[in-house]
Chains A and B, each alone.
Chain A
Amino acid sequence: MRENPLRRAWATPHDTLVAEAALGLVGIMAALASADHPWTLPLLVVPAALAQRALRDGVALRAQTRQALEDLADVVDMRDHYTFQHSQRVAELARATARQLRLPASEVELITMAGRVHDVGKIGIKSTVLMKPGKLSDREFAEMRSHPVVGARLIGNFPQFARGRAYVLHHHERFDGKGYPERLAGEQIPFGARVLAVADAWDAMTSHRAYRQALPLERVYAELERGRGAQFDPAVLDAFLHVLRERPDLAAAHTTEAQDTDETEPQAPRAPEHAA
């Protein structure tokens, strides 16, 4: 169910390793210099202050980049008012599920971040396809299916999203290997992507869409159960259902919002993104 703990242990401190190594070398040089010339020790303040400044600037830059990419994801959501705030809801549901699975904080953060930008690849899809009320043609369907690849390519350019790239790329894979883009199955699918798949499917089914109205909750639960082991990782699904039971606010706020979004009649169904 979970990733290799050794890999996780390595990944946790890995992103601070370079900064720690540099600071360690500064400490060594200060010690060596002041062993012969004690008056040089106060000079340690200078590199320490510069390192502090560099760390702050780096964090600020990362935050700005992240904000820009999240804004881009919001723009994608806003193109179609049916998917307004979809990414935020998926991120929130994925975060709660990841916590329920007792993943490390850094992994929870990564999954949340990936959930926030998982559909950013839709930026390249034509509005006529994205908001088409009727059934998609094969060509349009293929275009729609390209969004995980486009999104992964887009966010792969940003170092702080690089680790979440795989989650975005594979969030439409199915546990039985019938998903896309690479038809991965079971444990081959990155764990974070399996979490996103459930959250994304839930939000898609409980939202009105251009081609259909939101499904009744009973049907949504039935569809989730039907997808157990086929579309969804059973362990992740269990955690997700537990979250919905424990946090009715997460499910209720969203479904109420979906009910109020639109009053249009249900449209002819098109080939759905999710099997459900």
Chain B
Amino acid sequence: MSAASRRPGPPPRVRVYVCTAVALALLLAPASGWLGAAWRFEAWPEAMLLAALLAVAHRQRVQIGLHRTINVGTAPEVAAVLLLPGPLAVLALVAGTAAGERRGPLIQRSFNIAAATLRALAGLGAYVALRHAGPTAISDPLATLAAPLAMYVGGTMLVLGVAAV
């Protein structure tokens, strides 16, 4: 029997948590239609380029500890959220993550894709909410900085949630 086949699957509570995250992502994804930049022709090639970059980043993960990796996908993710129309930003993050996470257990891939969707929505939400919150000179830079922060906090909370359950 191989080591992989002996490895026990995640506990039921983790499965429930991942299923909840996936359901939440599916439920909230349509809300991206109201978020993000305006539609324009260049958005499609930009989305494809960012998705490709994200996929490469996911495949080139760097192991920084036991069960802990980091990748440079944050940069294309943030660029996608700030640059693309909402649905296209979500699509780029989902496609890039899915393409980069072709290996690994299904539950892990599902969680990562759901987390990418929720991160994108958190970033888009923060960007849109703050962009119209005051004078452009203040709200624009504030919204630009708040989007990646919301993505980071959202992503971190989701990952910490797995450890907590």
Chain A positions within 8 Å of B, measured between CB atoms, are 5, 9, 12-13, 15-16, 19-20, 23-24, 26-28, 30-32, 34-35, 38, 41-42, 44-45, 47-48, 51-52, 55-56, 59, 104-106, 108-109
Interface string of B43-72 (1 = CB under 8 A from A): 000100110010001001011111110111
* Minimal beta-carbon separation of B104 from chain A (angstroms): 17
Check if B62 sits within 8 Å of A105, measured CB to CB: no
Check if A41 sits within 8 Å of B75, measured CB to CB: no
- Decide if B100 is an interface residue (CB 8 Å cutoff): no
- The CA of A157 and the CA of B71, in the complex, are separated in Å by 27
Q: How large is the interface on B (under 10, 10 to 19, 20 to 34, 35 or more residues)?
A: 35 or more
- Decide if B152 is an interface residue (CB 8 Å cutoff): yes
- The CA of A24 and the CA of B152, in the complex, are separated in Å by 9
The residues in B between 119 and 165 inclusive whose CB is less than 8 angstroms from any CB of A are 144-145, 148-149, 151-152, 156, 159-160, 163-164
Check if A51 sits within 8 Å of B72, measured CB to CB: yes
Check if A12 sits within 8 Å of B163, measured CB to CB: yes
- The CA of A48 and the CA of B62, in the complex, are separated in Å by 13
- The CA of A56 and the CA of B57, in the complex, are separated in Å by 13
* Minimal beta-carbon separation of B25 from chain A (angstroms): 21
B75 is contacted by which of A35, A44, A105 (Cβ under 8 Å)? A44
- Decide if B77 is an interface residue (CB 8 Å cutoff): yes
Check if A38 sits within 8 Å of B82, measured CB to CB: no
Check if A44 sits within 8 Å of B160, measured CB to CB: no
